[in-house]
Amino acid sequence: MRIAKGNFMASSSGLVLATGNGMVRKDGHLTMGAGAAKALAQAYPHLPRAFGRMAQSKPRMSGGWHLYGVLTLQVAPGLHAGLFQTKGDWRDRADLGIIRYSATTLAQYLERNPQEVHLAFPGVGLGGLEEEEVLEVLEPILGGLPVVLYKL
């Protein structure tokens, strides 16, 4: 795992991951209205509906949100796009427990699908967490994996 400055969506191969929440709207779309998730939804307009269906197949928690960890779809040959869950409800702060779960889910995904991951730095910005506390959670799980955390 390493940290880089730039846009996580600039890669044309591997897996690009925005940060996300677990709220599915009444129309079945996963809420992707701000930050990195919004940028991903604007680039690939079919993702909110597809991710909404995928999230609804995962456990529903108190508060009405779904816990999924990581969701991915192929968007072009050699390129997958997805979400790395950092919170339950989009209105909440990021949650280190959910980030830990998502990191574990990502590590398991990479065992089955080895590739480079381009991840918007999770939990900071709209998530309200400090980089240091997030890195303390991520490093033991993703430290030796081909994951690039992007800061603007």
Q: What percentage of the chain reaches a pLDDT higher than 90?
A: 97
Mean pLDDT of 18-47: 98
Domain span holding position 43: 2-151
For residue 74, give the CATH number of its domain: 3.40.220.10
Mean pLDDT of 57-65: 92
Q: How many domains, the chain?
A: 1
* pLDDT attached to residue 62: 87
Q: What is the pLDDT of residues 9-21, one digit of tens each?
A: 999 999 999 999 9
* pLDDT attached to residue 29: 98
Q: What is the dihedral of CA 20, 22, 24, 29, to 10 degrees?
A: 30
Whether residue 124 is predicted with pLDDT greater than 90 in this model: the reply is yes
Residue showing tokens 């869950």? 85
Mean pLDDT of 48-70: 96
